[in-house]
Amino acid sequence: MNVVFFFGLPGSGKGTQAEKLVERFGFFHFDTGKEIERTLYDSLFPDDPVIKRERAIFDSGVLNTPSWVEAIVRGRIRELSQEERSIVFSGSPRTLPEAEGITPLLEELYGKEALIPIFLDIPEAVSIARNSKRKICKNRVCARVAAWDAMPDAIACFVCGSALGRRSVDEPHIIPDRIMQYRTRTAPVLDFLRQRGIGIMEIDGTSKPEAVHKEIISRFHF
Ligand SMILES: [Zn+2]
C-alpha cells in the first residue's frame, strides 16, 4: 500500500495525475475539494450554521477552516486503511495544520516509507492559462473535470452527458488569489514533510499529462 500526494499550483495536473494512478493501479483518489463540495452541497442539514459558514468560504475561493477539513479527511483515511486501499491525494494536505493532523495518522496506518509526495512544477502563467479554460461536469455525483487540453470545445460531459460549467473557484478573478493562497499556506506543507524525513519528488508539470504520468511511474514501482 502507498499514499501519494500531489502538490502544485492550481492547474498543475494534480487531479489528472491522480486519476491515472486510479486507472492503472487501483488507488483511491482522495480529492479533498470534492469531499468538501459533497459535504457542503449534499448535506442532510443544509441550514446547519457550520455548513452555511463553510459554504460561503468555499464559494469565495478561500480555503475552508482547517479543523473542519481535517475531521472529514481523518475519518475517511481510517476507513480506507481498514479496507487496505492505496490512496492518492490531489488536494491535501492544503495547510500546515492539516498536514500536522494527518501525516502522523498516515505514518501510523501506512508506514512512513509508504508516503510519496510529488510536486508538479509549473510556472504561474501556465497555472492561469490552464485554469481559465477548465470546465467541470455540473452533475455533482459525476463532477468529471473536462481537462484543459483534451476537450476545450466540449459542452456536455463525456461520461454522463450533463452540461459543463465553470467551478465557482475557477472564475478568472479568483485564480490569482488561489495562487497566492497556495504560496502562503500550502508551500509550508512541503517543508514540514521534509523535516519529517519524507523526501519530495519534483516533476516537470508542463508536459502533456501522459508524459508526466510516464515520468512518475518510471521513478516508482507501485
Ligand atoms: Zn458528468
Q: Give tens-digit pLDDT for 40-62.
A: 887 778 889 999 999 999 888 78
Q: What is the mean pLDDT of the chain?
A: 87
Q: What is the pLDDT of residue 112?
A: 94
Neighbours of 74 (CB within 10 A): 15
Task: Give 161 Cα–ligand 1 centroid separation in angstroms.
Answer: 6
Lowest model confidence (mean pLDDT) among 27-31, 179-183, 189-193: 179-183
Task: Give 153 Cα–ligand 1 centroid separation in angstroms.
Answer: 15
Q: Residue 149: pLDDT band by 50, 70, 90 thresholds?
A: low
What cell does 149 get?
487540453
Domains identified in the chain and CATH numbers: 3-123+172-219 (3.40.50.300)
Task: Give 38 Cα–ligand 1 centroid separation in angstroms.
Answer: 15
Task: Give 157 Cα–ligand 1 centroid separation in angstroms.
Answer: 5
**In angstroms, rounded to a whole number, what is the distance separating the alpha carbons of residues 76 and 69?**
11
What cell does 176 get?
490569482
The DSSP symbol for 140 reads T
**In angstroms, rounded to a whole number, what is the distance separating the alpha carbons of residues 189 and 138?**
31
Task: Give 211 Cα–ligand 1 centroid separation in angstroms.
Answer: 25
Q: What is the largest CA-CA distance in the chain?
A: 48
- The conformational region for residue 220 under phi > 0 = left, psi -120 to 50 = alpha, else beta, is beta
Phi first, then psi, for residue 29 (nearest 5°) are -85, 105
Task: Give 48 Cα–ligand 1 centroid separation in angstroms.
Answer: 28
